[in-house]
Amino acid sequence: MDLSFANKVALVTGAGSGLGLATARAFAEAGASVVLADAKRGTYQASKHGVLGLTKSAALDYAAKGIRINAVCPGIIHTPMLDKMMATQADALNAMLRDVPIGRLGRPEEVASAVLWLCSSAASCHALAVDGGYTIR
C-alpha cells in the first residue's frame, strides 16, 4: 500500500493540537506539503455536525474528476481537549468509556493513520469510524 504523499498537499483543520496536529505530522512525515488551520470551540462543534453531509455532497461533485472526498469519525480520543473535559466532567467521560468495546481512549496517532489511508490511492470514498467499536454496539 502506497502511503507516500510526495508532491501532494494536505489541508488539515484543527491542527493546533490533538487529532489535527497528529494528522498534520503524519502527512508531513509521509512527504506531503501541509497547510495547517485551527480555530475550533464553536467552529469545532459546527464542523462536526456538518462534515458528513459536506463529505457526501463533495464526493458526488468531484468523483468524476478522480478526487476522493472522505470523512473520519473519531470516537473518544485522548487529546488536550479531552484532558480539559476530564478535569471537570470525569464521571461523564468514564460513563462514555463504558460503552467503548476496546475499553480505552483512542490515540491521535491511530486516527492520523486512518486519515493517511483514506487519502492514499488504496482508498476510495468512505466515512470511517475510528472509535474503538463504539458505533457497532
Which residues form the catalytic set? 44
Task: Name residue, grid cell 457526501.
Answer: 56
Q: Give the three cell numbers for residue 70.
A: 472522505
CB 46 within 8 A of CB 70: no
User: What does each C-alpha distance from 114 to 118, 119, 123 come to in angstroms?
Assistant: 6, 9, 10
Q: Identify residue 25 by its one-letter amino acid code.
A: R
Q: Give the three cell numbers for residue 118.
A: 483514506
